[in-house]
Structure 1
């Protein structure tokens, strides 16, 4: 787990590298005088569902493009499925399905015809297997009924579904989804969540870039938070939430007595509608309970107050957060045709 400037060192053992589906080291991308990505060290564990979070302009899409070889880094290294980029792109990319920056298809072809063209470009998909692969992918994203309609007549949500279907034409080791629920209604969002769960259950590694914190919290096992082009936190979701959790909620009918007893023992506490909230920065749960019992306070329930992802995200990316001060570079994601390398 990494929070703030406590960055895990690069793996040196072959076994450690093998446990990562992708990783970057000292990754940096500059467009003219604008720094879009600044010394990013990102680890994507095999079999995980990693949610990449960050405000607009934080470098999420730029990082994904660098991971997939769609853009060349100004500095740093990228390793994808055990292959160093760019030399290993031809070996790694056939094992990757991706939906990045919205799908792009031929407007006058149907959804099925567009997918058949995508299938023809898959080196691991036999010609005879293409029709079935296309049909299964359309069924998986709920587009079977609209497969014969021209793409130009698709809604935004249907276009997004077709892009997802293209990424799922055959089993992948890694699936990368950039804002996969963009344009989808609640039912479509639930279906995408189910697809991600199926991929995770099958052992596929998934990287999801999203601004929907509730969706990330519901679907992801790991999280990486980007802010101003740098990674300010990454690790297992549960560990990150636990690291931001320093409170204990005590349910008791003796609220006033409990607060006074804790404060007398230099334990910061305050009354809340649900009971007594105790700050654990300088104490522990057992010490809190022991103090209350000695004071004769009736304790009905004690539980940790779990930090939500929204609270953690706000703390890490707020202007006055110490973790957010790691990089004060100007960040802006620009089109590839304005790319400048140095």
Structure 2
């Protein structure tokens, strides 16, 4: 008889290792610290948005992940391989677009892509024409495939770079500012490509300054500031943990505001009820205060922080998020940045 016998506890499923991981990653250029003590994890199957102001170390971190730059200190693991020693095993499974594409200006888009495909270790020669045609179609460049690259717009060049990363199915795709130079239609197409990759189980890392796109496409976020990671985790959890306001629906708004202010809890009337500042209190304490004051409470909900607000708080002041909910994420690093 197959299966687990009575009284036997089935062993838990093994945890899936991350697609990429860094520990104590540091890079110094001529005395300038570009990346400092970065501990980053990219969960397998996730779409992780890497955010940060200019000069925060995003591209340098990506280049070290890919083995293009040697760290000054620290460790990098990509698809289970120590980098850069394991590059020959890991990189064929990785598609990447980093710091803009580079192609031969006198060749057409298709000819450039054919050359890239010829060097692709996972692509048999007989499959090259079909793979190139599929990649061009996927990024919307089929009609312009015969034009010389030097005549391409910035957005078209970016599309061709994205096509080169998608020539074969990948376990991991890394896109550094993939929507740079794209019009709204092109941006929507890139969003669709990322969604397709995610649906197929591919892990995607997207470095972008377009917060709305990250919020629309990513499942996880890592925020870098001044060369280090100040927060990382599931996007929904980070947004919830970053919420510092509570929305309370009650028919007696004035009484509610007065009751809370009597207990030194900041609150103000809003069209739907009242907004309570949770910086120095908790949601249960707010409800308890209102109930004891005889104020009817119809609904209580935490006001969801937008990614733009969260990003501003994290990059302008790394000490602002101390909400207990972040303990579950175990992601505010280093310790002295809390």
> Structure 1 residue 252: deviation in Å?
3.1
Match among 107, 131, 134 for residue 133 of structure 1: 131
CA distance in 2 between partners of 1:214 and 1:243 (Å): 19
In 2, are the aligned partners of 1:319 and 1:325 still within 8 Å (CA)? no
> Structure 1 residue 238: deviation in Å?
1.1
Gaps of at least 5 residues in structure 1 are 1-14, 329-342
| Cα-to-partner distance string for 1:254-300 (whole Å, 9 max, x where unaligned) | 22111012223443322234421113345443553454345443444
Could you tell me which residue of structure 1 aligns to residue 21 of structure 2? 23
The answer to whether 1:228 aligns with 2:220 is: no
In 1, are the aligned partners of 2:230 and 2:318 still within 8 Å (CA)? no
In 1, are the aligned partners of 2:39 and 2:333 still within 8 Å (CA)? no
**3-state SS of paired residue (1:20):** coil
Alignment of 1:161-180 (within 5 A): 161-180=159-178
**3-state SS of paired residue (2:121):** coil
Could you tell me which residue of structure 1 aligns to residue 10 of structure 2? none
Could you tell me which residue of structure 1 aligns to residue 50 of structure 2? 52
CA distance in 2 between partners of 1:119 and 1:201 (Å): 24
Gaps of at least 5 residues in structure 2 are 1-13, 322-331
> Structure 1 residue 136: deviation in Å?
0.5
Match among 46, 68, 71 for residue 70 of structure 1: 68
Match among 217, 225, 246 for residue 215 of structure 2: 217
Alignment of 1:139-288 (within 5 A): 139-281=137-279, 283-288=281-286
In 2, are the aligned partners of 1:51 and 1:224 still within 8 Å (CA)? yes
Could you tell me which residue of structure 1 aligns to residue 107 of structure 2? 109
In 1, are the aligned partners of 2:19 and 2:203 still within 8 Å (CA)? yes
Could you tell me which residue of structure 2 aligns to residue 332 of structure 1? none
CA distance in 2 between partners of 1:183 and 1:284 (Å): 44
Higher mean displacement: 86-95 or 267-276 = 267-276
Could you tell me which residue of structure 2 aligns to residue 10 of structure 1? none
CA distance in 1 between partners of 2:47 and 2:264 (Å): 42
Length-normalised TM-score, structure 1: 0.86
CA distance in 1 between partners of 2:194 and 2:319 (Å): 32
In 2, are the aligned partners of 1:141 and 1:164 still within 8 Å (CA)? yes
Match among 277, 281, 295 for residue 297 of structure 1: 295
The answer to whether 1:83 aligns with 2:81 is: yes
Cα–Cα, structure 1 residues 303 and 327, in superposed 2: closer, same or farther, change >3 Å?
closer
Number of equivalenced pairs:
313
